[in-house]
Amino acid sequence: MSDEIIRVENLTFEYPDTAVLKDVSFTLHRGDFLGIIGANGTGKSTLIKIILGLLKPDSGKIRLFGGELSRARSRVGYVSQKANSFNAGFPTTVGEVVRANLFSKKGLFRRYTKADDARVLEALELVGMSEYKNKPIGALSGGQQQRVFIARALAAEPELLLMDEPTVGIDAASVSEIMEIIKRLNSDGMTIIMTNHDTPALLDAANKLLIFCEHGYEEFVNKADLSFERIADILAGKRVHRHG
């Protein structure tokens, strides 16, 4: 298949006292949606941080768009659990927050233009938040703030979007709205890698799964290849064992 977006080969990472990732390998192509499933502490967020270059793996290789991350930075977007840890007292508007991510397109010292403001509005429209552009971000609900952070990632027009538990701490209605936005982005061709505590939502949206278990065991599968029994096991939170 053409249009390879990311290739991860034999990735291994250990914290001082714990092996978190061991020989993780997978490849995604344009339009894939990878859901990363697993209990807390199994390495889901660590993998996202390694892909982003925030952590250095002990061994293994990552190719993004056929090259190094440093050459593909502007093509990768990231959404974290920011709505939870966000300082609501920071004096800033929604528009300012979203515009900040245009740095990867602008570079040092260059000032924002009207075209940049139009791009900010477009990104906010994608998540249904354009009318909040001039509102202080601290005045929004957790769900609205997270939609703004998704817009921030979208402002730089990424081709690969990494999301680490983007719906944590958000009310149920906002979670389903956010999942609909993510699925729409994916159906428009954006490649997505997402960790989520809400396994059913992830199983529904993803076409590929990376299943993390304890003791550094993991498996990369196409969702279509999973049996009903396996899906039932995953949904029941049972430990998953590699089949065959």
Which residues of this protein are in contact with other proteins, per CB under 8 A? Answer: 52-54, 73-74, 78, 80, 82, 89-93, 96-97, 99-101, 103-104, 106, 108-109, 111-112, 134-136, 152, 156
Q: Per the structure block, which two tokens stand in for 8?
A: 């991860």
Closest approach of other proteins to the CB of residue 28, in Å? 19
Complex with other proteins: residue 22 or 99, whichever CB lies closer: 99
Complex with other proteins: residue 71 or 197, whichever CB lies closer: 71
Complex with other proteins: residue 102 or 226, whichever CB lies closer: 102
Question: Looking at beta carbons, which pairs linking 11-16 to residues 24 or more positions away fall under 8 Å?
Answer: 11/47, 11/50, 11/57, 11/59, 11/60, 11/61, 11/62, 12/57, 12/58, 12/59, 12/60, 13/43, 13/46, 13/50, 13/55, 13/57, 13/58, 14/58
Complex with other proteins: residue 98 or 201, whichever CB lies closer: 98
Closest approach of other proteins to the CB of residue 14, in Å? 20
Closest approach of other proteins to the CB of residue 154, in Å? 13
Question: Exposure of 236 by Cβ count < 10 A (0-12 exposed, 13-18 middle, 19+ buried)?
Answer: exposed
Cα 205-206-212 angle, rounded to 5 deg? 125
Nearest CA to 161 out of 186, 125, 179 is that of 186
Closest approach of other proteins to the CB of residue 227, in Å? 38
Complex with other proteins: residue 160 or 209, whichever CB lies closer: 160
Closest approach of other proteins to the CB of residue 106, in Å? 7
